[in-house]
């Protein structure tokens, strides 16, 4: 019997979406306001979901204290109040879209969570726009 446990988290970060191979006009056309050369911020809402069997001794799928600490140390402390393009090495050459941020978050957490458990990431860039990545 598989159960999914979820933990919400939050970080604020700045980014700029652009493709350096393209003209300013094409970047503006494709990325709109997100291509602003002076960056802009988002209030990212993160949901980390872990699915697996209920452990017979604890009744837990995963100890939420451990998940909370992992998200704080690996994600919130790393991304919060950062300029993603300039300060996070993974985005030096990778566009920091919600899609790519969700993949980077999944990669950071996957190696720290028991491989018997499934991991999925839901990332809200705005209250209406969100992405999911399950690996």
> 57 CB contacts (<8 Å, ≥6 apart)?
none
Q: Which is nearer to Ni ion, 18 or 133 (CB)?
A: 18
Distance CA 43, CA 58 (A): 35
Closest distance of CB 2 from Ni ion, Å: 35
Q: Which is nearer to Ni ion, 6 or 12 (CB)?
A: 12
Site size toward Ni ion, by CB under 5 A? 1
* Residue least distant from Ni ion (Cβ): 34
Contact 90, 22 (CB under 8 A): no
Closest by CA to 121, choosing from 47, 53, 58, is: 47
**Active-site annotation, residues:** 34, 81, 125
Closest distance of CB 76 from Ni ion, Å: 19
Q: Which of 9, 13, 34, 103 binds Ni ion (CB under 5 A)?
A: 34
Q: Which is nearer to Ni ion, 30 or 66 (CB)?
A: 30
Closest distance of CB 67 from Ni ion, Å: 27
Place of tokens 């933990």: 7
**Could you say whether residue 13 binds Ni ion (CB under 5 A)?**
no
Write the CA distances from 25 to 14, 19, 29, 32, 126, integer angstroms: 22, 11, 6, 10, 25
Q: Tell which positions 90-129 bind Ni ion, by CB under 5 A.
A: none
Distance CA 131, CA 102 (A): 7
Which residues would be at the binding site for Ni ion (CB under 5 A)? 34
């Amino acid at each position: 019997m598989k159960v999914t446990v979820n933990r919400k988290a939050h970080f604020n970060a700045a980014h700029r979406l652009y493709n350096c191979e393209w003209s300013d006009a094409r970047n503006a056309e494709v990325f709109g306001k997100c291509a602003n050369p002076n960056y802009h911020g988002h209030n990212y809402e993160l949901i980390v979901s872990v699915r697996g069997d209920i452990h017979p001794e604890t009744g837990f799928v995963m100890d939420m204290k451990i998940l909370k600490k992992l998200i704080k140390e690996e994600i919130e402390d790393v991304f919060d109040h950062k300029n993603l393009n300039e300060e996070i090495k993974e985005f030096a050459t990778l566009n920091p879209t919600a899609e790519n941020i969700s993949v980077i978050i999944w990669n950071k957490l996957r190696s720290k969570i028991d491989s018997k458990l499934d991991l999925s990431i839901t990332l809200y860039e705005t209250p209406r726009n969100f992405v999911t990545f399950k690996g």
